[in-house]
Amino acid sequence: MNTHNPFAPPSSDLNAAPETLVIPRKPISVWVVQIIGSLAAAWGTFGLIMISRGAMAGLTVTGFGIPVSVHLLLQSCFIAFLLLMLWKLPGRSRLSRYLGLGLIGFFILLMSFAIIKSFWSGPIEATMIVTGIVLAPFIYWAYAFAFSRKALQYFEVPDHG
């Protein structure tokens, strides 16, 4: 007597086998963030060493007009965030995605301040056009790093290696 039991589990596994899962490749924008982040961390560490040497020599105010202790604190935090981003980025962490987007946003903010300050005496329309032209690649980089289809696929797959 062969009766069909509707409550019996299926005889086949509905989940895809681990060998058939396609792990997306790392997007170019992620490579660029890792390279730029590494260079910024190395450069920031060198600057931290130089400010520390100045503090030991008796420097109380940096060239930016802020106290040395505040400068050391801000630069140490920036380097810590960069190193955290570089550590978590190969693991496809959501935190690394946000920190990388913050790094790109920081570059966009610095570039826009530099451009607006250098062109401030000219007509405002020309300043805004130059700012838009210069910042367009950075804005696309931010989109490609955090919001593009490839980036979303890359960051949604956890790294098990």
pLDDT digits (tens, 9 = 90+) for 43-83: 999 999 999 998 888 888 887 788 988 999 999 999 999 99
What's the rounded Cα separation, in Å, for the pair 117 and 69?
Answer: 27
pLDDT of 23 strictly over 90: no
> Does 9 fall in a domain?
no
CB-CB contact of 144 with 97 (8 Å): no
pLDDT of 87 strictly over 90: yes
Number of helices (H), then strands (E), belonging to the chain: the values are 5, 0
Residue 67: phi and psi, rounded to 5, are -60, 150
> Does 156 fall in a domain?
no
Residue 127: count of CB within 10 angstroms of its CB? 17
> Does 70 fall in a domain?
yes
pLDDT of 160 strictly over 70: no
> Does 57 fall in a domain?
yes
> Which residues, 6 or more positions from 32, have their beta carbon under 8 angstroms from its beta carbon?
141, 145
> Does 58 fall in a domain?
yes
In the numeric block, which tokens belong to residue 97? Answer: 């995605």
The predicted-structure confidence for 128-144, as pLDDT tens digits, reads as follows 888 888 899 999 999 99
Q: Where are the alpha helices (DSSP H) in 57-123?
A: 68-88, 94-118
> Does 33 fall in a domain?
yes
| Tokens 């062969």 belong to residue | 2
> Does 56 fall in a domain?
yes
Q: How many distinct structural domains can be found in the chain? A: 1
> Does 143 fall in a domain?
yes
Domain range for 106: 28-151
| Local confidence band at 161 (pLDDT 50, 70, 90 cut-offs) | very low
pLDDT of residue 159: 57
Residue 8: count of CB within 10 angstroms of its CB? 7
